[in-house]
Amino acid sequence: MNYRISSRAGSLTPSLTLAIDSKAKQMKAEGLDVVGFGVGEPDFDTPQHIKDAAIKALNDGFTKYTPASGTPELRQAIADKFKNENGLDYKPSQIIVSCGGKHSCYNVIVATCEEGDEVIIPAPYWLSYPEMVKLASARPVIIETTDKTSFKVTPRALRDAVTPRTRLFILNSPSNPTGTVYTPEEVKALGDVCVEKGVLIMSDEIYERLLYDGAVHKSVASFSPAHREHTVIVHGFAKAWSMTGWRLGFCAAPEPIAKAINAIQSHSTSNPTSFAQKGAVAALKGPQTHLQQWLGEFNKRRTFALQRLNSIPSISCVNPKGAFYLFPNIAKTGLKSTEFCARLLETQKVAAVPGIAFGADDYVRLSYATSMANLEKGLERIERFCKAL
Ligand SMILES: *Cc1c(COP(=O)(O)O)cnc(C)c1O
């Protein structure tokens, strides 16, 4: 039998972050003292009232199909969130709930892009974006940025990258992997270019609440009705409510795009898990007090790790004002990111993700969604590793 794999699937690279994570977990299972900076998920538990709502839903028999795009109750709660927090008016029919923010991104790209289309993605990027674009038979167009500009793409660079084939611009602020947060003025200026050029924006705002040092998040959709009409917002419950395993994300889109995504979803996944959606309603409507505590904890670790990294002579790291990642520059160690991470894991038992996975080979990604004790131990080892090079 010739197991021919479609060229679409054959062109994909499996997620390196997930691969590193499983390698580190395997080493741990073998009894090795591994410090993991690889994972992209909060180390806090899902707040109890959210779990209780899902448990109640199960006990109440809320275990059947829901509408493919999510329950009316949850879509209304999401529309209310956009109204109250972002000043954005969306009808529930413009909200589609999906099986994770990743799934929401995929739906948006597949609903809007096809062969011959170009999708502009600033690097360093979340590693799934270019792969999703390839799955849609479109072409990723990468704009490189460096730590010298805090990994920010300029309106000028964006304008230069637009061609008649440009379909989509992907904006992710706060950013995974760099933690970069664009100021409202910078977001508006990028949005202005897209409005002028008729380019749709996919704005991944999943880290919108994870901000430090007084950074402010403003959605690109919120600057004018034209900005909103050129934007699809992608979001999810994974990060700010620590619900990664629940698989719940959502998008807010202009009506025709929402309709297309609803059709895709109705023929692929159908609805996201029914009782998980009840938990999500509780997440949006319940107390948000957990977040202040998490942010305080994240900020302590961020400040410590940033200072510690910058005290290592061959490493420099810009101040990331959002999310829970650090993206230090390792160029002065003389190693490229894959070798740096492989040797770090091998010799020091510290797991980090090579920047090449995010399109930036002179950097590595460290997640500080781990305990202070782990951070202290891991950074000690990174310092030892760098000094021995
Ligand atoms: C975590 C993450 C998502 C969504 O993750 P899900 O677990 O699928 O909800 C989307 N975009 C970015 C940039 C992320 O880091």
Q: How confident is the model at residue 16 (pLDDT cuts 50, 70, 90)?
A: confident
Domain 64-285: state its class: alpha beta
Residue 230's pLDDT is 98
- Residue 172 CA: nearest ligand 1 atom is 13
Q: Which residues, other chains included, contact 130 with Cβ-Cβ below 8 Å and sequence gap of 6+?
A: 121, 140, 142, 359
Average pLDDT, stretch 61-81? 98
Q: How far is the CA of 265 from the centre of ligand 1 (A)?
A: 18
Residue 271's pLDDT is 98
Residue 9's pLDDT is 87
Q: How far is the CA of 389 from the centre of ligand 1 (A)?
A: 35
Choose the residue to mutate in 16, 107, 126 for probing ligand 1, maximizing ligand atoms within 8 Å of C-beta.
126
Give residue-wise pLDDT tens across range 309-342: 999 999 999 999 999 999 999 999 999 999 999 8
More confident residue, 8 or 32: 32
What percent of the chain is predicted at pLDDT more than 90? 93
**Separation between Cα atoms, residue 18 and residue 41, nearest integer Å:** 11
Q: Which residues, other chains included, contact 125 with Cβ-Cβ below 8 Å and sequence gap of 6+?
A: 142, 170, 172, 358, 359
Residue type, 302: R
Is the distance from CB of 281 to CB of 74 less than 8 angstroms?
yes
Averaged pLDDT of the chain: 96
Average pLDDT, stretch 42-68? 98
- Residue 41 CA: nearest ligand 1 atom is 1
Give residue-wise pLDDT tens across range 139-178: 999 999 999 999 999 999 999 999 999 999 999 999 999 9
Average pLDDT, stretch 56-85? 98
Provide DSSP, 177-225: TT-----HHHHHHHHHHHHHHT-EEEEE-TTTT-B-TT-----GGGS-H
For residue 210, pLDDT beyond 80 = yes
Average pLDDT, stretch 357-361? 96
For residue 21, pLDDT beyond 80 = no
Q: How far is the CA of 76 from the centre of ligand 1 (A)?
A: 22
Residue 22's pLDDT is 80
10 Å CB burial of residue 131 (0-12, 13-18, 19+) is: middle
For residue 51, pLDDT beyond 80 = yes
Is the distance from CB of 131 to CB of 14 less than 8 angstroms?
no
Choose the residue to mutate in 39, 206, 353 for probing ligand 1, maximizing ligand atoms within 8 Å of C-beta.
206
Determine which residue's CA is closest to atom 13 belonging to ligand 1: 176
- Residue 237 CA: nearest ligand 1 atom is 9
Q: How far is the CA of 103 from the centre of ligand 1 (A)?
A: 9
Lowest-pLDDT range, 18-27, 54-63, 130-139, 165-174? 18-27
For residue 39, pLDDT beyond 90 = no
For residue 70, pLDDT beyond 80 = yes
For residue 40, pLDDT beyond 80 = yes
Residue 212's pLDDT is 98
Q: How confident is the model at residue 107 (pLDDT cuts 50, 70, 90)?
A: very high
- Residue 238 CA: nearest ligand 1 atom is 9
Q: How far is the CA of 102 from the centre of ligand 1 (A)?
A: 5
For residue 90, pLDDT beyond 80 = yes
Give residue-wise pLDDT tens across range 275-304: 999 999 999 999 999 999 999 999 999 999
Q: How confident is the model at residue 387 (pLDDT cuts 50, 70, 90)?
A: very high
Residue 258's pLDDT is 98
- Residue 126 CA: nearest ligand 1 atom is 13
Is the distance from CB of 57 to CB of 66 less than 8 angstroms?
no
Q: How confident is the model at residue 47 (pLDDT cuts 50, 70, 90)?
A: very high
Residues lining ligand 1, CB < 6 A? 40, 100-102, 126, 172, 176, 204, 206, 236, 238-239, 244, 249
Residue 174's pLDDT is 98
Rounded (10°) CA dihedral 324, 230, 184, 251: -30
Tell which residue, 240, 177, 176, has the closest CA to residue 209.
Answer: 240
**Separation between Cα atoms, residue 343 and residue 285, nearest integer Å:** 46
Q: How far is the CA of 207 from the centre of ligand 1 (A)?
A: 9
pTM of this prediction? Answer: 0.97
Question: What residues does each domain of the chain span?
Answer: 7-46+289-388, 64-285
Give residue-wise pLDDT tens across range 227-279: 999 999 999 999 999 999 999 999 999 999 999 999 999 999 999 999 999 99
Q: How far is the CA of 152 from the centre of ligand 1 (A)?
A: 20
Q: How far is the CA of 100 from the centre of ligand 1 (A)?
A: 7
What is the third-level CATH fold of 7-46+289-388? Answer: Aspartate Aminotransferase, domain 1 (3.90.1150)
